[in-house]
Amino acid sequence: MMHVYLETYGCQMNVADSELVTAILKSGGCEMAETPELADAILLNTCAVREHAEERIIGRVGELAQHKYERPQVIIGVLGCMAQHLGEDLIKRSRFVDIVAGPDSYRRLPGLLERARAEKALDVRLDRRETYDGITPERADGVTAWLTVQRGCDKCCTFCVVPAVRGRERCIPLADLVLRAEKLAAEGVREITLLGQTVSSYTDGEHDFAALLLELARIPELLRIRFTSPYPTDFSPKLIEAMAKCEKIARHVHLPLQSASDAVLKKARRRYTIADYDAVLQALRAAMPGMAVSTDIIAGFHGEGENEFQETCDYIRKARFDFAFMFKYSRRSRTAAWRWQETVDEETKSRRLKTIIDIQEQISREVQQACVGQTARVLVEGVSKREDGWLFGKTSEFRQVVFEDPAARPGDMVDVKVVGATGHTLIGERAGAAK
């Protein structure tokens, strides 16, 4: 029997894919190992969105190669987006890599492991029909779970490698998702997060994303439904209305902005202007007052001069996002922008990144502080490491709360009075059981 150690990098979808990979490996007769020392095969599920992510993996493979010196038969495999992105070149860049398997190749992993005993095994076939239908992901216990509802991406933003490495968009039929969610609920899951690259464009040919949300919300044991990431202009009035009328749908959306300059958005082939984006943001906040909104921003993309950059700074101040993930533009092969000469130098990118991080951090702190004194409804997720008897959970707005409560259990929904805020965590006191 082969023992496999699996390490995951990148986005939530990779975390969910690793649950799939674990299920496939186990049904193929493998056992999962807790540490690389105990493994016959070491697999890394990887990200390709920025160069830095890939460099880290090359470094990690080098570190893990020490196991080969001690046990030469150990197999090292790179899975996921970076595997798909670099393909055979990955084996050239690191001779320690024995398996290269892209996001649509996971069903064939047990065979690839077998092959890798004798030769390098490469499988980067994209398959526009692969949804991993019929495989139940192997998840850790707990009250939260991922549910992949869409794979691939059809948006083709010029900076982004995702469509090249995850292939065309495909969605899992609503009926299958409901069955899966019911099963999760029966296992004790109380919160599910729907995953897709542009999840709000979900359609199974018959049902749209609003229909999917409302259908899943009918499962009585599910107390909360989240999703990530929606594409800004796929937020139809119908979807906003569906969210507003259903309290189970989290009062938080992650709405990737990228830039607030129309010139840059156009270069990026985002399908909206800043006015369109802002209209969606305003409509969401009008329909659901107090809703939290987070975003992604790229510093230093094509066409971003000082004026365009200022537009982004101004918009960050105006929008008052709850939090944001901010990145320096990283030029990726197999994207449209790869062919273009870069317009912003590294130093300017770094300075701009620091500027927007500073602006946003201040806003995030103010938003956090404004929660103090309020009562928050928290879904308890587990026991906090902070102190004995303390629990942690999240509010509908995706705020992390820790509080002391001898009576509450993971999966309970409780009302907590927020008495303090530190960094990214709110400190609470038990206020009562939620109705």
In the bound state with ligand SAH, the residue whose beta carbon lies nearer, of 162 and 427, is 162
CA 5 – CA 302 distance, rounded (Å) = 40
The secondary structure of 334-403, three-state, reads CCHHHHCCCCCCHHHHHHHHHHHHHHHHHHHHHHHHCCCCCEEEEEEEEECCCCCCEEEEEECCCCEEEE
Question: CB of residue 111 vs ligand SAH: minimum separation in angstroms?
Answer: 30
> Stretches 85-93, 155-163, 240-248, 395-403: which one binds ligand SAH (CB under 6 A)?
155-163
Asked if 166 interacts with ligand SAH (CB under 6 A), we say no
Torsion angle of the four alpha carbons 83, 84, 87, 91, in this order, in degrees rounded to the nearest 10? 0
Please, which residue, 330 or 384, has the CB nearer to ligand SAH?
Answer: 330
The token pair that represents 100 in the structure block? 């290269």
d(CA 411, CA 223): 9
Cα-atom radius of gyration of the chain, to the nearest Å? 22
The amino acid that residue 94 corresponds to is S
Spatial contact of 326 and 306, defined as CB atoms under 8 Å apart:
no
**Near ligand SAH in 245-264, by CB under 6 A:** 256, 258
Secondary structure class of 383 (helix, strand, coil): strand
**Does residue 171 bind ligand SAH (CB under 6 A)?**
no
The site map against ligand SAH for 257-296 (x = CB under 6 A) is -x-------------------------------------x
Report whether 49 contacts 335 (CB < 8 A). no
Binding mask 309-338 for ligand SAH (x = CB under 6 A): ------------------x-xx-x------
DSSP tag of 342: P
Of residues 204-243, those binding ligand SAH (CB under 6 A): 229, 231
How many residues at the interface with ligand SAH, by CB under 6 A?
18
360 is an interface residue for ligand SAH by CB under 6 A: no
Whole-number Å distance between alpha carbons of 352 and 298: 10
- Nearest distance, CB of residue 108 and ligand SAH, angstroms: 25
Asked if 159 interacts with ligand SAH (CB under 6 A), we say: yes
Please measure the distance between the N-terminal and C-terminal CA atoms of the chain and give it in whole angstroms: 50
Window of 16-24, 64-72, 119-127, 152-160 that interacts with ligand SAH by CB under 6 A: 152-160
Residue 129 backbone dihedrals phi, psi, to 5 degrees = -105, -10
Q: How far is the CB of 368 from ligand SAH (least distance, A)?
A: 23
Residue among 161 and 401 whose Cβ is closer to ligand SAH: 161
Residue 193 contacts ligand SAH per CB under 6 A: no
Complex with ligand SAH: residue 25 or 160, whichever CB lies closer: 160
DSSP state, residue 269: T
**Residue 105: is the preceding peptide bond cis (ω within 30°)?**
no
Residues that bind ligand SAH (CB under 6 A): 49-50, 153, 159-160, 162, 197-198, 229, 231, 256, 258, 296, 298, 327, 329-330, 332
